[in-house]
Every structure is written in structure tokens, then in C-alpha cells.
Structure 1
Amino acid sequence: MPTCQNCGKKWTWKQTIKTIFRLKCPHCGKKQYESASSRVRSGVFMLIPLIFLPINAWFGFTVGTAFVLAVVLCFIIFGLYPFILKLSNEQEPYW
């Protein structure tokens, strides 16, 4: 789970999901940023749906089945995202 770099308090899974798009600490209210290493890991994590495309074509899933599987996959990714998120006080470059 992510830890605020300003106040040092650990966020819960629920708090992280609530603030996933604005990343504002629920304890101290300070803006946090996703660290560069976390962005790289989450980028690799978000490539999982691209792996799904050839599997979909190979098995010949119907559009409805593919849509349901994609929605389930998105829920799984967003559910696991707080476990790979690392925070920083300032925006870090990728390199």
C-alpha cells in the first residue's frame, strides 16, 4: 500500500481507490505524485489488456464475451493497482 511521503502515514486500499486519480493524502491533504518507478511498473501492468487481444482472436470469443472479460480484467487491474503504487512529494521524470 502507498505511504504518504509528507506525513508518513500508510493509505488503506479503500483510501487509495478513492484518491486514485487525484492522489491527495487523506490524512494531511497534501498532493502526492506517482513515483517514476511506480509509473513504469503500472505501465507494464496496464499492458495486460494488450495480451488479451491475440488470445481473443485465437479463441474466437464473441463480442459480448470479450467485453465481459475486458470489464472483469479492468476491475482486477484497478483492484491490484494500490499494491504497486508508490508515492513521491514531487513529479519525477521517467528517466
Structure 2
Amino acid sequence: MPICQNCGGKWTWNQTINTIFKLKCPHCGNKQYESASSRIKGGCFALIPLLILPINAWLDFSVGTALILAAIFAIIVLGMYPFILKLSNEEEPYW
């Protein structure tokens, strides 16, 4: 789970999901930024739903089935996101 780099407060899963777009610490109220390593890991997890495209073509799923699988993968990725999120006090470049 993410730990605020300002106050050291550990965020819960619910707090992380609730602040996923603004990343404001629920304990001290300071703005936090996603670290570069966390953004790279998050980008890799975001590519998982793209696996549906070749599987869909290979197994000839219907459009509805492919959309349901994409939604399931998206929920899994969003559910795992708080576990890979690392915070920083300032915005970091990718490299």
C-alpha cells in the first residue's frame, strides 16, 4: 500500500481508490505524486486488457464476450493498482 512521503501515513486500499486521481494524502492533506517506477509498472498492468485482442481473434469470441473479458481485466487491474502505487513528494521524470 502507498505510504505518504510527507507524513509517513500508510494509505488503506479504500483511501487509495478514493484518491486515485488527485493523490492527496488523507492523513496530512498534502499532494503526492506517483513515482516514476510506479508509473512504469502501472503502464505494464494497463496493457493486460490488450491481450484480449489476439485472444479474441484466435478464439473468435463475440463482441459481447470480448467486452465482458475487457471489463473483468480492467477491474482486476484497478483492484491491484493500490498495491503497486508508490508515492513521491515531487513529480519525477520517467528517466
Give 1:52 shift. Answer: 1.7
Identity of aligned residues (%): 72
Which residue is equivalent to 1:91?
A: 91
Instruction: Provide the rounded CA distance (Å) in 1 between the counterparts of 2:78 and 2:60.
Output: 26
Instruction: Provide the rounded CA distance (Å) in 2 between the counterparts of 1:38 and 1:91.
Output: 12
The number of aligned residues is: 95
Which residue is equivalent to 1:70?
A: 70
Give 1:51 shift. Answer: 1.6
Q: Which runs of 5+ in 2 are unaligned?
A: none
Q: Deviations over 1:49-84 (max 9, x none)?
A: 122210111111101111111111111100000000
Instruction: Provide the rounded CA distance (Å) in 1 between the counterparts of 2:78 and 2:46.
Output: 10
Q: Which runs of 5+ in 1 are unaligned?
A: none
Runs of at least 4 residues off by over 3 Å: none
Instruction: Provide the rounded CA distance (Å) in 1 between the counterparts of 2:62 and 2:24.
Output: 41
- Report the TM-score when normalising by structure 1: 0.97
**Counterpart residue identity of residue 40, structure 1:** I
**Counterpart residue identity of residue 65, structure 1:** T
* Paired residue secondary structure (1:22): coil
Which residue is equivalent to 2:13?
A: 13
